[in-house]
């Protein structure tokens, strides 16, 4: 009998697990929020992931439950665990991805390097933090933010006045970084762990635009330190499945943890075409407690460029023939989503020996889908 | 709107088209012979591909019809074309894959190098052929043979006495070959054509056991001649989609055409992990008349080893953890089929720089699934 894996959430991360699930012979099932989502091909149920009975009915039919996102409420997750369901990552780990204040506090306990931070309950506490940090800070809502939402750079408490009154906020030092990196690791429930090469991520407007794997100018010590941070967090937080650690590299060569994600992550999409084991296959292996795959690059360089939705008439389908004709070796991955402006609707991977050529190919292919 | 591709037949070739179809954003639909076949995830209909109304109802909902196998009857194919359905490959091409006598006659017209052959209607004609070819011949039923079925090596007409009386047979020279090769090409309806590197195939018991890509000792002229034969056949027979040409390489360095397949083929499974564009993605691009992808290898060597079904207790699932643990970089592909002895139930791909290491890795991984 095929192992049955249930994915909660019907977005593109669930969609991209379908291909490796088929190859590994898994029976993959998705609980989608709505019909016709990215992972519709494998959707066996539609419903609200916040509703315990909906999730419980879905979980009853599978061997392990995992996720397309981190938004399933703790009480739902804990009820599943109490039912005896294998949930990976589990609620004890996911709480740190769901709440940035808890994450900061736990990383501090683990002595993982991170920016200066404070829990600020009101304007006075934020002013104190600003005064101690050069008059500037990044303020974040502890829950619900993504892709730049729920994050503001401020010089005065008034700039987040609308956020106070609904629990404490997280204030962080505005790090003077030279670039952003991301470290991915996979961890099995039994403890085995595999680290991917650390990659460079380029953000535009708070959204990941481009990823270079491995990170250029990756001194051996840099890659070791990054992998060590990833392993410490995966072990310290009890993560199972894929973990992505977004990092700042400072001009004085420190690595500081920015954000965490406990699932496949945009910074790892390059691995679909560039690594021996893609992050999507790896996540499935890890959550099923199967032996992990080799995370080494298949070629010296891989570059991923996101495709963001443009005008409604610029559907991916209409642009695809010209892009494929111009770039026969580039890999275009689509998410089956309506192209609203700024929405991630796909990405392009290019791989090869020469970084300049690979960057060019990925960008030039993605440009066919732009405005 | 996503392009809708309909695949007739629910076997492993349809299954392996699912992954690239999802990435390209295609709406993939399968007409399966039965429930729970290899391509069940994408099955939207179940029925008999020999029944015109079943096929017609399926074809009505898609933009193009293609195939997991070559067994759809000519009258069904021609009725679809008359209905205005895009069918790729079309009946004019498929007739040559469906009837080996027609194939031999057409290749002779095209001056493609092939073994000596003759249409033999009775024992006397076969004896004449045997007398002219050293007393030995390969006799084939023109229709319905695969994986060694419908093929016998004979020294006397009595050995195929049971085959006479149901139409003429094909008699072929028993070629003194040094090895077997396979050449794949993809061709679009608009005429564009891409050739994969010629590969070496190793058969055991009439079944493909192993493929090395590209073929070792592949002199430039050999690869050019092989690619030229592939292109001549694709163009001469009007093939659309993937074409596989099985070749004998003789000790005096001639290439002679053995068999044809107008679909993705076992000799091209290496391309899933070893080529810039897998044969499954390429087939979809070609039948949809999308620009073809780069067919170049991603690494110097790729080796594919088939997994054949063993005893009923030796399910792929039960063997998978040990195989993955021992070979973290090997890619195991499963077909979701019950493991009857001798049945192809999956394959392993390995890729890398060193041929000996790649051969070892592919064979050693596949061995976990053996008896």
pLDDT at B147 (0 to 100): 61
Residue B370: both structure tokens together: 């053996």
Torsion sign over Cα B198, B202, B207, B209: negative
> Are B68 and B263 within 8 A, CB to CB?
yes
Mapping DSSP to helix (H, G, I), strand (E, B) and coil, where does residue B20 land? Answer: helix
Q: Is the peptide bond before B295 cis (omega within 30 degrees of 0)?
A: no
Q: Cα angle vertex A81, ends A77, A86, to 5°?
A: 100
Residue B141: both structure tokens together: 């039923």
Question: To probe the interface with A, which of B2, B23, B192 has the most A CB atoms within 10 Å?
Answer: B23
**Interchain contact B165–A (C-beta under 8 A):** no
The answer on pLDDT for A311 being more than 70 is no
> Are A118 and A171 within 8 A, CB to CB?
yes
Residue A311: CB atoms within 10 A of its CB come to 10
Phi/psi-derived region of residue A175, left when phi > 0, alpha when psi is between -120 and 50, beta in every other case = beta
d(CA A189, nearest CA chain B) in Å: 14
What letter does residue A175 receive in the DSSP assignment?
-
Contact assignment for A346 to B290 by CB distance below 8 Å? no
d(C-alpha B284, C-alpha B287), whole Å: 5
Nearest to B298 among A18, A298, A320 (CB): A298
Nearest to B293 among A25, A316, A328 (CB): A328
The answer on pLDDT for A1 being more than 80 is no
Residue B333: both structure tokens together: 């592909």
Note the pLDDT tens digit of each residue in A160-205: 999 998 889 999 999 999 999 999 999 999 999 999 999 999 998 8
Phi/psi-derived region of residue A25, left when phi > 0, alpha when psi is between -120 and 50, beta in every other case = left
What's the CA dihedral at B152, B225, B243, B260 to 10 degrees? Answer: -10
d(C-alpha B276, C-alpha B282), whole Å: 10
Mapping DSSP to helix (H, G, I), strand (E, B) and coil, where does residue B192 land? Answer: coil
**Interchain contact B277–A (C-beta under 8 A):** yes
**Interchain contact A293–B (C-beta under 8 A):** yes
Local confidence pLDDT in tens for the 371 residues of chain B: 789 999 999 999 999 999 999 999 999 999 999 999 999 999 999 999 999 999 999 999 999 999 999 999 999 999 999 999 999 999 999 999 999 999 999 999 999 999 999 999 999 999 999 999 999 999 999 987 666 678 999 999 999 999 998 889 999 999 999 999 999 999 999 999 999 999 999 999 888 999 999 999 988 999 999 999 999 999 999 999 999 999 999 999 899 999 999 999 999 999 999 999 999 999 999 999 999 999 999 999 999 999 998 766 567 888 999 999 999 999 999 999 987 888 899 999 999 999 999 999 999 999 999 86
Per-residue buried b or exposed e for B314-337, using 16+ beta carbons within 10 Å of the residue's own CB: bbbeebbeebbeebbbbbbbbbbb
Q: Is the peptide bond before B366 cis (omega within 30 degrees of 0)?
A: no
Work out the pLDDT band at A147, boundaries 50, 70, 90: low
DSSP letters of A96-108? Answer: HHH-HHHHHHHHH
Strand partners, A308: A344
Count of alpha carbons within 13 angstroms of residue A55, beta-carbon side: 26
Residue with token string 């993982």: A112
Phi/psi-derived region of residue B306, left when phi > 0, alpha when psi is between -120 and 50, beta in every other case = beta
The closest alpha carbon to B29, from B57, B53, B61, belongs to B61
pLDDT at A148 (0 to 100): 64
**Interchain contact B334–A (C-beta under 8 A):** yes
**Interchain contact B332–A (C-beta under 8 A):** yes
Alpha helices, DSSP H only, in chain A? Answer: 12-24, 52-59, 74-83, 91-98, 100-109, 123-132, 220-236, 271-274, 279-287, 316-326, 355-367
d(C-alpha B63, C-alpha B61), whole Å: 7
Mapping DSSP to helix (H, G, I), strand (E, B) and coil, where does residue A322 land? Answer: helix
**Interchain contact A15–B (C-beta under 8 A):** yes
User: What's the mean pLDDT in A220-233?
Assistant: 96
Note the pLDDT tens digit of each residue in A27-74: 999 999 999 999 999 999 999 999 999 999 999 999 999 999 999 999
Structural domains present in chain A: 4-87 (3.40.50.20), 116-172 (3.30.1490.20), 177-367 (3.30.470.20)
Residue B271: CB atoms within 10 A of its CB come to 29
> Are A191 and A223 within 8 A, CB to CB?
no
Residue with token string 């070739």: B13
Radius of gyration of chain B (CA): 20
C-alpha distances out from residue A276 to A273, A296, B123, B301, B327, Å: 8, 6, 55, 14, 11
Mapping DSSP to helix (H, G, I), strand (E, B) and coil, where does residue A16 land? Answer: helix
Residue B170: CB atoms within 10 A of its CB come to 23
The answer on pLDDT for A248 being more than 80 is yes
> Are B346 and B314 within 8 A, CB to CB?
no
> Are A242 and A184 within 8 A, CB to CB?
yes
d(CA B276, nearest CA chain A) in Å: 6
C-alpha distances out from residue A348 to A21, A318, A369, B23, B277, Å: 21, 16, 10, 10, 14
Cα B237 versus chain centre, distance: 16
Nearest to A328 among B23, B291, B332 (CB): B291
**Interchain contact B3–A (C-beta under 8 A):** yes
User: What's the mean pLDDT in A71-94?
Assistant: 98
Nearest to B25 among A22, A292, A317 (CB): A317
Say if residue A370 is exposed, middle or buried (CB neighbours under 10 Å; 0-12, 13-18, 19+).
exposed
Q: Cα angle vertex B154, ends B202, B147, to 5°?
A: 35
User: Helix, strand, coil proportions of chain A in percent (round to 5)?
Assistant: 35, 30, 40
Question: In chain B, which residues have their Cβ closer than 8 Å to the Cβ of A328?
Answer: 276-277, 291-294
Those of residues 300-329 in B touching chain A at CB distance below 8 A are: 316-317, 320-321, 324-325, 328-329
Question: In chain B, which residues have their Cβ closer than 8 Å to the Cβ of A192?
Answer: none
The closest alpha carbon to B330, from A66, A106, A296, belongs to A296
pLDDT at B165 (0 to 100): 83
What's the CA dihedral at A48, A54, A55, A58 to 10 degrees? Answer: -120
- pLDDT more than 70, % of chain A: 98
Nearest chain B residue to A346 by CA: give it.
Answer: B23
> Are A330 and A348 within 8 A, CB to CB?
yes
d(C-alpha B147, C-alpha B344), whole Å: 10
Nearest to B328 among A20, A41, A293 (CB): A293
The mean pLDDT value of chain A amounts to 95
């Amino acid at each position: 009998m095929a192992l049955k894996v249930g994915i909660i959430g019907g977005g593109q991360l669930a969609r991209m697990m379908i291909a490796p699930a088929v190859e590994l012979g898994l029976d993959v099932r998705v609980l989608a929020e709505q019909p016709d989502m990215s992972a519709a091909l494998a959707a066996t149920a539609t419903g609200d992931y916040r509703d315990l009975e909906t999730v419980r009915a879905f979980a009853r039919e599978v061997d392990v439950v995992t996720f397309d996102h981190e938004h399933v409420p703790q009480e739902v997750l804990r009820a599943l665990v109490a039912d005896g369901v294998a949930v990976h990552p589990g609620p004890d780990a996911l709480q740190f991805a769901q709440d940035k204040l808890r994450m900061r506090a736990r990383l501090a306990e683990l002595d993982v390097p991170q920016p200066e931070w404070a829990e600020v309950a009101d304007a006075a506490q934020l002013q104190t933090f600003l005064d101690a940090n050069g008059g500037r800070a990044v303020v974040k809502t502890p829950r619900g933010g993504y892709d730049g939402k729920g994050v503001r750079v401020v010089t005065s408490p008034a700039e987040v006045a609308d956020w106070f009154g609904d629990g404490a906020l997280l204030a962080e030092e505005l790090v003077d970084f030279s670039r952003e990196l991301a470290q991915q690791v996979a961890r099995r429930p039994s403890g085995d762990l595999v680290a991917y090469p650390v990659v460079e991520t380029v953000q535009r407007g708070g959204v990941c635009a481009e990823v270079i794997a491995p990170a250029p100018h990756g001194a051996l010590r840099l890659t070791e330190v990054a992998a060590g941070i990833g392993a410490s967090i995966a072990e310290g937080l009890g993560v199972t499945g894929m973990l992505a650690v977004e990092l700042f590299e400072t001009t004085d060569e420190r690595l500081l943890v920015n954000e965490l994600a406990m699932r496949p992550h945009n910074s790892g999409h390059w691995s679909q075409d560039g690594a021996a084991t893609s992050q999507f296959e790896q996540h499935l292996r890890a959550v099923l407690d199967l032996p992990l795959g080799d995370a080494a690059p298949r070629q010296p360089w891989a570059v991923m460029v996101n495709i963001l939705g443009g005008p409604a008439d610029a559907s991916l389908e209409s642009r695809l023939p010209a892009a494929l004709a111009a770039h026969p070796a580039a890999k275009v991955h689509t998410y089956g989503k309506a192209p609203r402006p700024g929405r991630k609707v796909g990405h392009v991977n290019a791989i090869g020996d020469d970084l300049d050529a690979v960057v060019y190919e990925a960008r030039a292919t993605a440009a066919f889908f732009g405005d």
